[in-house]
Amino acid sequence: MVMDGAEEEVKGEGKPMDCSKHQKRMKDRDLGVSCMVNTEVGALLTVMRMNPVDMPTPQFGIHGTEEAVDTSFINSLKSLRTFIFNLQQDWHSINPSIYLSPFLDVIQYEEISAAAAGISLSAILKILRLDIFNTGTPRAREAMHSVVEAIANCRLERANMPADDAILMRILQLLVTCLKCKGSPLLSDNAVCTIVNTCFQIVQQSASRGHVLQRCARHTMHELVQMIFARLPDLDSSVEILLDNDHISTMNYGIGAIIDIFQFICSLLNLSVEVPFDFDSTVSGPDEDIQLFALILINSAIELGGEAIARHQKLLGIIQDDLFFHLIHYGSNSSPLVLSMICSTALNLYHHLRSFLKLQLEAFFWFVCLKIAGGKLYTAQQEEVAIEGLVSFCRQPKFGVEMYMNFDCDPMRENIFEEIGKLLCKKASPGTGPLTSIQSQSFDGMVVMIQNIADGIDGIDRTNSNLKSPEFYDAPSSSSDCIETTKYRSFWTEKCEDYGDSETVIEFVRMRKCMKKRLMVSSDHFNRDEKKGLEFLKHSQLVPDPPDAHSIAYFLRYTQGVDKTLVGDYLGDPDEFHIQVLKEFTSTFNFTNMTLDIALRNFLETFRLPGEAQKIQRVLEAFAERFYVQSDETFADKDAVMVLCYSLIMLNTDQHNVQVKKKMTEEEFIRNNRNINGGEDLPREYLSELFQSIANNEITLADQSAASEDMNPSRWIYVINQSNNTDPYISCDTRPWLNRDMFSTLVGPSIATIAAIFEHTNDDNILKQCMEGFIAVARVA
């Protein structure tokens, strides 16, 4: 009975005992933290006593005694040791700077030894990893920023490379911990940018220090980017509005840091060969090596940010402009390894953000994938990588139909879907020997395209009341007059009435595709005979009857395949109607925020400047008037623009004609253009920029081979300007949309290719693919 009473007494006092146990555990934990800090203090004191050079203001007594090393560092460490064993409150309530400052001071001291710096860094690392303080701790924000500042200012001996490498490894660990610890939400945008910048400095330093440190530095940089961009989906897009262009937020880090860091890693694609890397000859060049590293970081940022990137206009703008230009520019001039990473990056961008990258994607396919896969100017390895990239895109279920609707059915855009399909058929065609890797890859992609078309048609729900009859989705006649038209309609500028309604969209894009087919026939007629070509335009309802200047201008400006020499002659003709067409033609350009040389480049890429002086004058007068209206206050009148245009064309000939031996200097160019601006001089800086632009980058006059040129900065500016006014990207759902229309563009070459390979090969896997291709064709038919 006594025992029972005792048990009841214990049970009755359960809560006080539990509370007491909790207090004891907390006290033990605090004591454990004190012991840990004491251990680090003791280790640091020992090293500093052994290395008097570590003391900033030594007062030597008897060598080897404490009096000999009694300095400010020693005193602060002794004070800390006393403090940690006489705590009046728990560790979570103590200002972290009290126990961090002695260690932070040590790593920033210019003459500190590697041993002392290493112990101090280890101590800071332990404190952060143990989460001794958190966001609720007094003065925690200041402490976290002090840690970041101290790491960025950490001094190295530089005379002892192995010791310095150990320090750098510890710094890398500490940088990651700063973003992982409980105090990380207190970091500002500036602090996070400092962390990333410090890490990249180590990446650069490690290039000459060995592979181990370099791999660790790059791995750390990658981990930092992943942690930072993993926050993006949870960030409020409205915060970006509060950020000033010249100011990084000092509040808790977020979109400001992410924008700056993403801009930085994109800029790494532009690093030149002077970056000091020390790889053997079997590895890609130093510039390509850093490009590969940058692309890995960019890919991770895109994968983690995903669709949330579109909520932040500044971040999206970097992708739309700088990043895509770099991908296209370097994609067409890089090794197979870099090209492969660029294609993977573009695929990620397509998956997450294609609705915001319509013209950028078109440019990427046209100037990178299709151009390289053509194989005329590139190695077999580059060609194979480009085809692999195209096949990866083709494997996306909606890729084919979206390319067809957004580009092939737009009179102003390239036939991306058709060109990819025809290219794969051509590259898959068998030769005399076994199928090559390129042929196999191309055949695989071609079969995938047909299977995706067939899968879409199989998915028609014929009982779905929201759809019209299944015949609505059947392809119309393949003739150019697939849609009956009795009068002209302004299809160039016509917009879809409701992009949200699939049936309205289908009717709209079918109409535009038929108009585009007619335009192709019209351009052929125009190239052979101008008058007959214009008559065909009227007969096909592509221009009103009688024709107006607006519709003719759009035909000359946007129709693919029109002879650019004929366009130039037409625009320079003195006939009154031709002059009206010229004005309408120039009105299709937007020169806002362009310098004169870039505007002139864009203008002259659309036609070949005629040879007759009077025609040239008429064309340049129209250009000068349009540019002057849209330019800033640099020019006094359109005559100043006109004179400078002539001067730039003459400079272009002078600088890039091999027959001109004595080239014009910048000073001569500026002197030749004095007093042309309403009797005044144009700004010297403006003329200097124009001279350098022309001298370093020739204005290429349009000719029939212009389509094969690389993407250049002036052309890219035009793409960006166009993207601001283009039709929205049409995203497709799971319905068949225009699958039969799509198949009609591929049916001939695809069946011929499958049949040829079926007869040619004895490989069981290839034969199986042939059967799958035939079955897919039958499903569509």
Catalytic, out of 307, 494, 497, 612: 612
DSSP string of 443-505, one letter each residue: HHHHHHHHHHHHHHHHT--TT-TTS--GGGGS---SSTT-S--SS---TTT---S-TT-HHHH
Which residue in the block uniquely carries the two structure tokens 């008559």?
535
Q: To 10 degrees, what angle do helices 189-205 and 211-229 make?
A: 160
Q: What is the residue range of 152's domain? A: 36-187
Share of the chain above pLDDT 70, in %: 85
Domain contains 144: yes
What pLDDT, on the 0 to 100 scale, is given for residue 497?
Answer: 85
pLDDT greater at residue 696 or residue 49: 696
Residue 285 has pLDDT above 90, yes or no: no
Query: Residue 188 pairs with which residues in a beta bridge?
Result: 252
Phi and psi angles of residue 420, each rounded to the nearest 5 degrees, phi first: -65, -45
CA–CA distance, 71 with 48 (Å, rounded to integer): 10
State the virtual CA torsion across 692, 694, 696, 701 in degrees, nearest 10.
170
Tens of pLDDT along 16-38? 556 677 677 778 788 888 999 99
Say how many CA atoms lie within 13 Å of 583 toward its Cβ. Answer: 10
Q: Report the number of distinct structural domains present in the chain.
A: 1
Domain contains 133: yes
Q: Are 522 and 566 in contact (CB under 8 A)?
A: no
Domain contains 18: no
What pLDDT, on the 0 to 100 scale, is given for residue 710?
Answer: 78
Q: Are 133 and 92 in contact (CB under 8 A)?
A: yes
Domain contains 598: no
Long-range contacts made by residues 716-720, C-beta under 8 angstroms, separation at least 24? 716/325, 716/328, 716/363, 717/594, 717/598, 717/602, 718/602, 719/359, 719/360, 719/363, 720/320, 720/321
- Report how far apart, in Å, the C-alpha atoms of 146 and of each of 34, 103, 141, 417 are: 21, 11, 9, 56
What is the distance between the terminal CA atoms of the chain, rounded to a whole angstrom?
93
Domain contains 105: yes
Angle, CA 344 vertex, CA 341 and CA 349 arms, to 5°: 125
Q: Quick check: is 584 catalytic?
A: no
Six-digit token string for 351: 């998956």
Six-digit token string for 199: 């890490």
Phi and psi angles of residue 434, each rounded to the nearest 5 degrees, phi first: -60, 160
What pLDDT, on the 0 to 100 scale, is given for residue 90?
Answer: 87
What pLDDT, on the 0 to 100 scale, is given for residue 773?
Answer: 93
Q: Are 71 and 57 in contact (CB under 8 A)?
A: yes
Which residue in the block uniquely carries the two structure tokens 């004058």?
617
Share of the chain above pLDDT 90, in %: 62
Domain contains 533: no
pLDDT band at 15 (very low <50, low <70, confident <90, very high): low
Residue 473 has pLDDT above 90, yes or no: no
CB within 8 Å of 22: residues ≥ 6 apart = none
Query: Residue 252 pairs with which residues in a beta bridge?
Result: 188
CB within 8 Å of 85: residues ≥ 6 apart = 34, 38
What pLDDT, on the 0 to 100 scale, is given for residue 163?
Answer: 82
What pLDDT, on the 0 to 100 scale, is given for residue 327?
Answer: 96
Closest CA to 44 of 104, 146, 123: 123
Domain contains 639: no
Tens of pLDDT along 89-134? 888 899 999 999 999 999 998 878 888 899 999 999 999 999 999 9
Mapped onto helix, strand or coil, the DSSP state of residue 680 is strand
Domain contains 547: no
CA–CA distance, 326 with 71 (Å, rounded to integer): 55
Across the range 230-255, mean pLDDT stands at 67
pTM score, whole prediction: 0.86
Query: Residue 680 pairs with which residues in a beta bridge?
Result: 677
